[in-house]
Structure 1
Amino acid sequence: MEIIQIVGLGLIATVLILVVREQKPMFAFLLAAFTGLFIFLYIIGRIDTVISMLEQLAEQTGIPSIYLKTILKIIGIAYIAEFGAQIVRDAGQEGVASKIEFAGKVLILVMAVPIIHVIVETVLGLMPPGG
């Protein structure tokens, strides 16, 4: 099971970080950042299968691919912003982490506007004239 390997790596890294932090805090931070990056890159490879399945599903249902791509970009922004904010938080920079999260939320809103526009147009099209 892959999750056991990931948790094992996380636990080993945590022990090493706790041991090293007293003598070399910068090295401990780098170890934490590289561990997080390694796990992130390992998992990102698994996402390809999910994306392929979602594309097939969208194709079968007739949903335009632009909507699926936009939703996947939104999900990507959320994950990357969270990942970046957590690494910055590990470095003790809560203020910068909050700004990363805020930027992620704004970018998600910007990406969602076209989808919201289509939804509003669809709802308005379903309403009777003068309604």
Structure 2
Amino acid sequence: MDIIKIAALGLAGTLLGIMLKGQKKEYELFISMGACLCIFYFIVTKLEIVLSVINQMQNYVKIDAGYVGLLFKMIGITYIAEFSANLCKDAGYQAVAGQIEMFGKLSILAISMPVLLVLLETVGEFLT
């Protein structure tokens, strides 16, 4: 039950941060970042399982390896942008967090353009 470990880690980090908030504000930020990094490590281990299943699905259904690579990049961009934006929000830098989120969204849009073009070509072939 990894969720229990993650919940306990998150709650412990939050409570410790609240206790230190009154004494040393900078320690609260370090505790928060440390807890986030530990939880992010657990996320990465679960992400490895998802990626291996996607690779197995690629063996069953013939999908171009380039598209699977694009999917992996999109997943990576999403997680990294969300993680870093949340850290910035926690530190009180909402404007920076918003810019990170915007850049992540635009990066995913830029990466997905080749897939969108192929989709439009396929739809165009069916219509003609």
Instruction: Check whether TM > 0.5.
Output: yes
Give, in angstroms, the shift of residue 45 of structure 1. Answer: 1.4
Check whether the contact 1:81–1:101 (CA below 8 A) recurs between aligned residues. Answer: yes
State how far apart, in whole Å, the 1-side matches of 2:26 and 2:17 are.
10
Residue 4 of structure 1 pairs with residue 17 of structure 2: no
Q: Please tell me the residue identity of whatever aligns with 2:15.
A: V
**Number of positions where the alignment pairs a residue of Structure 1 with one of Structure 2:** 128
What is the match of residue 50 of structure 1?
A: 50
Q: Matched residue of 2:124: which SS?
A: helix
What is the match of residue 106 of structure 2?
A: 106
**How do 1:87-98 residues align onto structure 2 when only pairs under 5 Å count?**
87-98=87-98
What is the match of residue 81 of structure 1?
A: 81
Report Cα offsets for 1:26-52 as digits up to 9, x if no partner. 111011011101110122012112111
Identity value in percent:
36
TM-score normalised over the length of structure 2: 0.96
CA-based RMSD of the aligned residues comes to 0.9
Q: Please tell me the residue identity of whatever aligns with 1:16.
A: L
Q: Please tell me the residue identity of whatever aligns with 1:96.
A: V
State which structure, 1 or 2, has the greater radius of gyration over its C-alpha atoms: 1
Q: 4+ residue runs of structure 1 moved beyond 2 angstroms?
A: none
What is the match of residue 26 of structure 1?
A: 26
Unaligned ranges ≥5, structure 2 = none
Q: Please tell me the residue identity of whatever aligns with 1:125.
A: E
Q: Matched residue of 1:109: which SS?
A: helix
Report Cα offsets for 1:82-118 as digits up to 9, x if no partner. 1110100001011111000000011001110010011
Q: Matched residue of 2:16: which SS?
A: helix
TM-score normalised over the length of structure 1: 0.94
State how far apart, in whole Å, the 2-side matches of 1:14 and 1:59 are.
43
Give, in angstroms, the shift of residue 24 of structure 1. Answer: 0.7
State how far apart, in whole Å, the 2-side matches of 1:48 and 1:98 are.
28
Residue 64 of structure 1 pairs with residue 64 of structure 2: yes
